[in-house]
Amino acid sequence: MTDDWLFPALRFAQYAVMLGLFGSLAFRMVGLQGLTPFLRPATGRVTMLATLAAPCITVAVMLVGIARMMGQAVGDLDGATITAMVMTTDMGTAFLARTALAAAAAAVLALVRPARRSQIIAAWLYALALLTLAWNGHAAASEGWPGLAHRLNDATHLLAAALWIGAIGWFSRLVWTAHRDPARIRPAPLLDVLHRFAPLGLALVAVVALTGTINAHFIFGIENSLAVLQTSYGWLLVAKLALVALMLGCAARHARAAAQSAGASGREPAMSRAGLAQLRASLVAELLLAGGVLGLTAFAGLAAPMAG
Least separation in angstroms between residue 11's CB and ligand HEM is 8
Q: Judged by CB under 6 A, which of 67, 94, 158, 167 binds ligand HEM?
A: 158
Find out whether 276 and 178 touch, Cβ atoms under 8 Å. yes
Q: Is 290 in the site for ligand HEM (CB under 6 A)?
A: yes
Rounded Cα gap, residues 191 and 194, in angstroms? 5
Instruction: Point out which span in 117-125, 194-202, 207-215, 222-230 binds ligand HEM (CB under 6 A).
Output: 207-215
Using the minimum distance from each CB to ligand HEM, give the nearer residue, 91 or 300: 300
Least separation in angstroms between residue 165's CB and ligand HEM is 6
Q: Is 63 in the site for ligand HEM (CB under 6 A)?
A: no
Q: Judged by CB under 6 A, which of 212, 228, 271, 287 binds ligand HEM?
A: 212
Residues 239-268 that bind ligand HEM (CB under 6 A): 241, 244
Least separation in angstroms between residue 57's CB and ligand HEM is 14
End-to-end CA distance of the chain, in Å? 23
Q: Which residue is nearest to ligand HEM (CB)?
A: 212
Using the minimum distance from each CB to ligand HEM, give the nearer residue, 185 or 233: 233
Least separation in angstroms between residue 200's CB and ligand HEM is 15
Least separation in angstroms between residue 76's CB and ligand HEM is 27
Instruction: Point out which span in 60-68, 109-117, 154-162, 186-194 binds ligand HEM (CB under 6 A).
Output: 154-162
Rounded Cα gap, residues 265 and 3, in angstroms? 57
Q: Which residues bind ligand HEM (CB under 6 A)?
A: 15, 133-134, 137-139, 154, 157-158, 161, 165, 208-209, 212-213, 215-216, 219, 241, 244, 290, 293-294, 297, 300-301
